[in-house]
Chains A and B, each alone.
Chain A
Amino acid sequence: MSTTTIEIKTALDTMLKPNPHVGKQSSVEVTDYNNRQTVGKITVDHPKMICRGVNVYYGEKHALKNVGIDIGANEVIAFIGPSGCGKSTFLRCLNRMNDTIPVCRVVGQIKLDNDDIYDKSIDVVQLRARVGMVFQKPNPFPKSIYENVAYGPRIHGMVNTKPELDDLVRASLERAGLIKEVEKRLEEPGTSLSGGQQQRLCIARAIAVDPEVILMDEPCSALDPIATAKIEELIDELREKYTIVIVTHSMQQAARVSQRTAYFHLGDLIEVGETDQIFTNPKHKLTEDYITGRFG
């Protein structure tokens, strides 16, 4: 056995061992659960959101264990993992949608730019204007298309005059790639649109308040492949302006739209990495097993 081989062997061995350095990157004390650490680089150069030591409890159940991850500005980051792995829970922590669940308790630090979003000085209304959300099932309000988009700007008092509001609605629909389809029927109910159009209407509604981050909770799970492709194309376009966090059950979708991917498993953040790396050469066996379809 030559020296080169031994070198590689050692390198391999160290690589496969749990990495003691990952946890030390964060300023928050990271506890080690079952000797399990997040594999991969959790930090980014230009973070939009910084999450450290996030734990979520549903009553007695420890739903999310010590998650630490950065979400970079203008990136699309995908959260993947089997059902009940905590990815949606974590997503909902990012705009405090978990506040609506009485038994849910969130511990840890989540920063949007430099504001701790769980700080008392941050109002949840303001936060949700900055961190918009698109849900799994297209859920337009049972009102006109126009009213759907105008709702956010209206409640936040973003515009003063009707022409301004008209412009904003049109601009939002345009950015959501919906304007051509609905231009002549702005007064028709939002629910009269097709599923894919409804979802894009929801995206238009979310971007109408000009958020900094858009959270998407399985936005295409109720859509056909063509509508899905349109949404994915839209996500790619929106990346220029917004930071997008997407939870998806479709690994192909994560691979297609995201730059970084985070794999969750039973409440642990197992691995974070460039999407390319996660899908060609994941470092953790659990990630590997999940994305190659060997799970469970």
Chain B
Amino acid sequence: MTAPVLAVEGLSIDARTPAGPRRVLSEVSFALAAGETLCLAGESGSGKSITSLAIMRLLPKASLRVAAGAIRLEGRDLVGLSDRAMRRVRGGAIAMIFQEPMTSLNPVMRIGDQLIEAIRAHQGAEDATARARAMLDAVRISDPARRMGQYPHELSGGMRQRVMIAMALSCRPKVLIADEPTTALDVTVQAQILTLMRELKGEFGTSIILITHDMGVVAEMADRVAVMQAGRIVETAAALPLFTAPREDYTRTLLAAVPRLGARAGTDGPPRVTTQPLAATPAGTPPVLSVRDLSVTYRGARGWFGGTAAGHKAVEGVSFTLQRGRTLGLVGESGSGKSTTGKAVLGLVPFAGEVLLDGVAIAGLSPRAMRPLRRAAQMIFQDPYASLDPRMSVGAAIAEPLAIHRMGTAADRRDRAAELLRRVGLSPDHASRYPHEFSGGQRQRICIARALALEPRLIVADESVAALDVSVRGRVLDLMLELQETLGLAYLFISHDMAVIERMCHDVAVMRGGRIVEAGTRRAVFEVPAQAYTRELMAAVPIPDPARRPEPRRAIA
């Protein structure tokens, strides 16, 4: 075997804290062979991003410091390199692409200038423009000449990530570090970007370090995998054996938690998590939620004198009903209108059409008349970090809906908050603590407790587990299933994640461009999708099994 392109040896990193240094990465070692794709896989806080930033020497100096170890690029240690020499390595021998294509490009600089600048930084000035255009062509962007003069906000997320890749590969780096490069992208776009990376790896002879939390992406991309947890590498193995015969417990847990599309095939509903008999809905009760011909138009910016830009139809002609104790999944890519639909049924955005909550039309209700209805329907949001007031104790946050609706005395509300905390698997004495003391999963439980405070019959869950690690995600989903079985809750479950939808839902509506393109029982939609778009969505989901990896497509010369 030839010498590795990049070798990380015993890398340890300390965080500076007021209480002295705290180790956040310990004794991490791996080697990257020429032409290899190595995946650093792990959940949040495992140290995978810190490792990559350390290789680039982009760690925030004020807070993180390499305590020990070496990072050798073709034998040369980068840790002690001068800043000037390191700048030549960055973007030259090692390039990096990041998770957020929306924010990773300079918003006030033309695409072309950003590319040219990267080329000039390492390879001199002549023909940089032509080479920049050729790079845009290489990442299969349509109309590269025009893109050169455009600004980032004029491009979609997928295109921006292609630009990032073009920029990273423009100086033919030996190593490309890709930090969650597709996490922020829609699943069909993710599939395109992953394919592109596989193809370009061959064309440019680059080795790749791919950092991801998604075991499906790992299975599709990795030659070898290093599983990380809490700042250490738990296990390193070739991709196939890692998936088929993981040696370490943690790897096994991680793999077991990975949602697999098709896992619920042959069943009609989500898995049962309690033994309690399901309450039957008496015939003739109105559905919890009934939506007919719902449309939402976002008005363009309005000037002083009523001059309006043309409105944008976010949702158009959407109809569905949702019965007690059932879950309807709204699935679709960004911009499909699924979140807007969720907001509209709660009366949070103006809409046209008919929305009946418990049989009562909510259109045109005054805020006062809407109030009792708000008790019946609650929402859980995507980001448990942003949806809790950091200055409000958890108990107060859970009791707040009760206070708003003037229910019970302060003491009653405190008792209720304690009871709700227990209900979602937390301890009642957590009530006096503040959100920052909790993990993401615990915070989402708090949000669920808050939503439950008013004993709603409907909960709109908008990407409620998207921000959580897989292992935590499973437990939160189980909690939601348990609450549904015991309380008869109806969920409007909004997600871009096909596997999560499959696990949670009885019925599914696939949305695209503001319309429902296909709807039916989850079993029907997932097992015999009628629409090409639904099939496309399902096919784009990475399969967490390296043996079923898609054939490498022929590189376009």
Real binding pair: no
Interface residues in chain A, defined as those with a beta carbon under 8 Å from any beta carbon in chain B: none
Interface residues in chain B, defined as those with a beta carbon under 8 Å from any beta carbon in chain A: none
